[in-house]
Chain A
Amino acid sequence: MSAYIARRLMSAFLVLMAVITLVFILMTQIGDPAAATLGNRANEDTVREFNARYGLDRPLGAQFLGYLGVIACQRPSSPVYDDDPATNGYCGLLQGDFGESFLHNAPVADVILRRLPRTLLLGALALLFELAIGLGFGVFAALRRNRWQDTSIMSTAYLGQSLPSYVTGPIFLSYAAFLFGLFPVGGYGSTPLEHLQHAVLPAFTLAILGASTYARVTRSEMLDALQSDYVRTAKAKGLGRSRVLSHALRNALLPVVTLAGLSLRLLVGGAIITEQIYGWPGMGKLAVESIVNVDAPTVMGVVFFVALAVQLGNLLADLAVAALDPRVRLAG
C-alpha cells in the first residue's frame, strides 16, 4: 500500500516537473512581461529596473533554475528578496516559493491563496449540486426503469450533457437573476452569506454537465447492481427494501467516486468560462488575466496547482475505490 502510494507520488512529481517546464517555455514565448506590465511607452530605465527586479535580465536557463530553487533566484541587488538570510538567496519551488507576480506586485502564493477559497466555494457548491441532482435522479430512474420517469430523466440528462456553460450562463444571468431578482447579478459580494448567494447561479451553471453525467452513470451502475446475485441473496434473506437498496447503492457508487476525483481539476482550476460570465473573481479568471498580461509566475503557479489537484484527485479516487471495494488490491 505505502509502496503503491510512493510510486504514484513519484510519477505525479515527474508529471508536475514536465508541466512546469512546458508552461515556462510557453510563457517565455507569449510576450514581453515588461511591455505588458509597464505599457509600451515606458522608458528604457524603467524597463531595465523592472527586468532586474524580477531577474528577467538573466539567461532563460538561469531564470528557470532560479524558479525551481536550484540556484539563487535573484541577483544580490534585487529589492524583492533583498538577500534575506532565511532564504539564503534561494526562493524557488524547492523552498516552497512561487515567485512574485508582475501584475499584482505580490507573492504568487498570496495571490493564489486569496482566490483559492472563492474557487473552492464555487467548486464545492457545484459538486454538491452535481451529486445531489445526479445521484438522486440516477437512482430514481433506475428504480423506474423504462417507465416514463426514466425516459424523461435520461433524455434531460442527454440534453444536459450538450448544454455548454456559455449558453446556460448568460440565459440564467439574464432571466433568473435579472427578471426574478432571485439571485444577485454577477460579482462576489462582501459577507460570507453574500458569497454563498452569489455562488448559487454560477455553481448551478457548472453543475449541469456533471449532474447529467452522474445521473447517467448512477442509473446504469444501479441497474447492474440491482440485477446482481448479492441483491437477489439479500432479498431472499428477507432484508427490507431500504437495506437492499443501500447494498446496491454502495456498489453502484464506485464509478461515481472515480468521476468525482477526476472533477477535482475543475474544482481547483476554476471554471474559466463560468467565472468569466459571472464575474466571479476565482482562479479561472486569474489565470486568463495573467496570460493576457504575460504574468508568467502567476500562470505557472495556477497551472501547478491545477496539475497537482489532478494528480491528487486521481490518487484519492483510486484509494477511495480500494477502501470501498475490498476486491480491489492496489499493486505496489
Chain B
Amino acid sequence: MDPRAWTRFRKNKGAFLGLALVALATLSAVAGPSLAPHDPNEQFRDTLIDGRGLPKGPLAVPDHLLGADTLGRDELSRLLHGGAVTMLVAFLATALAVSLGTLIGVTSGFFRGALDATFMRLVDLLLSLPFLLLAIAIKRVVADPGLEVLVLILALLSWTTLARVVRAKTLQVRELEYVLAARALGMSNARILLRHVLPNVAGPIIVLGTTLVAQLILFESALSFLGLGVEPPNASWGSMLREGSELIDSAPRLLLYPAAFIVMTVFGFNLLGEGLRDAFDPKE
C-alpha cells in the first residue's frame, strides 16, 4: 500500500466528514441497543396513541423523546435497535462478499486458465440477473426469517464487481518483475500471493468494500421496505420506513426519521469510499 495515501486522505475534507458519519453510525449501532430507553417491541397503546388513533409526536410524553410509531412503540428505541440490525447485516454481508470476491478474484487472476474462465462466466451470469427479483425469489424459497439468511443472500449477490476489479489488478501484478524474481528465488505460489499480490490489491478492496457497505444498507432497506427483510415485529431502518410511508400524510416524521438515518449513513460510507479512492489512486 501507498504510504502517501494517508497524507492525501488527511487533506480531504469530504473524506473526513464521511469518516465522522461512519463513526457515528457505527457507534450508534454498537451502543444503541443498550442506550435505548425502552423495549423496542413493547406497545404503549394507552399512553402513546391519542383519541383519533394516531401516534403521539416528539416530546408529547416525557420519557418518549421522539414519540411513538403507528403501534404505540417508542420511536427512539426502535431507531436505535433498527440501526443495529441494519448495520450488523450490512457489515457481515460486506465482510463475506469481500472475502469471497477477493479469493475468487485473486485466484482467477493469478492462476488463469479454466478456473478463471469459469469464475468470470459466473460473474457475467450474476450481473445479468435482476438482483432485487432474485433476492425476493430466494427469500421466498428459503422461507427462514433469520438474519443469517439475509446476510447470505446479500453477500452471494454482491461479490461480483469486487472479484472483477481484484482479478484485473492481479493480472497486472503477476507480470511485474518482482513477482518473477520471487518465482526465480523459488518462492511458493501461496507465499507470492500473500506477500506480493494481496498487498498490491488491498487498495481497491478497501475502497470497494467501503462503498459496498453503503450499497448493502440500501439493499437491506429495499428488501425490508418490500416486507421481505427483517421480519416484524423487529425493527430495521427499512421496515420502519415502510411502516412510516403508510402514514405519511398524518405523521411524516415516521418516514423522515429512519430516512434521515439511512441517508446520512449511506452518504457517510460513500464519501469515505470516495476519499479513500482519491487517497489510493490520486490520478482518478
Instruction: Mark A residues whose CB is within 8 Å of B.
Output: 11, 14-16, 18-19, 22-23, 26-27, 29-31, 158-159, 161-164, 166-167, 170-171, 173-174, 178, 220, 265, 269, 272-273, 276-277, 287-288, 291-292, 299, 302-303, 306-307, 310-311
Contact = CB atoms under 8 A, between A and B. Distances in A.
A15 B238 CA distance: 33
Contacts of B136: 288, 291
B249 A307 contact: no
Given A11-B124, A18-B125, A19-B125, A265 B130 contact: yes
28 contacts: A15-B124, A15-B125, A27-B137, A161-B270, A163-B263, A164-B262, A164-B263, A166-B225, A166-B241, A167-B241, A167-B262, A167-B263, A170-B255, A171-B255, A171-B259, A173-B248, A174-B249, A269-B133, A273-B222, A273-B225, A277-B245, A287-B130, A288-B133, A292-B140, A302-B133, A306-B129, A307-B129, A310-B128
B20 interface: no
A220 B278 CA distance: 12
**Among A14, A30, A276, which residue has the most Cβ atoms of chain B within 10 A?**
A30
Contacts of B14: 158
Given A31-B140, A162-B266, A167-B259, A272 B133 contact: yes
Nearest to A164: B218
Q: At the interface, is chain B mostly helix, strand, loop or mixed? A: helix
Given A15-B128, A276-B226, A158 B271 contact: yes
Nearest to B136: A291
B263 A303 contact: no
B258 to A, nearest CB: 9
Interface string B253-284: 00100010011001100110010000000001
B248 A170 contact: yes
Nearest to B245: A170
Contact of B130 (A29, A171, A174, A306): A306
Q: Which 3 residue pairs of A and B lie closest in terms of their CB atoms, listed nearest first?
A: A162-B267, A170-B245, A162-B266
B222 A166 contact: yes
Given A158-B271, A162-B214, A162-B263, A269 B140 contact: no
Interface in B110-154: 121, 124-125, 127-130, 132-134, 136-138, 140-141
A174 B140 CA distance: 31
A253 B244 CA distance: 40
Contacts, number: 109
A245 B113 CA distance: 45
Contacts of A14: 121
A159 B271 CA distance: 9
A316 to B, nearest CB: 15
B53 interface: no
A306 B121 CA distance: 17
A303 B124 contact: no
B58 interface: no
B216 to A, nearest CB: 12
Nearest to A287: B133
Nearest to B238: A166
B248 to A, nearest CB: 4
B158 interface: no
Given A19-B128, A174-B248, A29 B141 contact: yes
Nearest to B223: A273
Contacts of B132: 272-273
Interface in B210-240: 214, 218, 221-222, 225-226, 238
Contacts of A162: 214, 263, 266-267, 270
Given A163-B263, A171-B248, A291-B140, 13 more contacts: A16-B128, A19-B128, A164-B221, A166-B225, A166-B242, A166-B245, A167-B241, A220-B284, A288-B226, A291-B137, A303-B133, A306-B128, A306-B130
A272 B124 CA distance: 22
Contacts of A174: 248-249, 252
A26 B248 contact: no
**Among A167, A174, A310, A311, which residue has the most Cβ atoms of chain B within 10 A?**
A167
A87 B213 CA distance: 51
B130 A26 contact: no
Nearest to A18: B125
A26 B140 CA distance: 10
Nearest to B255: A170
A165 to B, nearest CB: 8
Given A19-B128, A174-B248, A273 B226 contact: yes
A302 B132 CA distance: 13
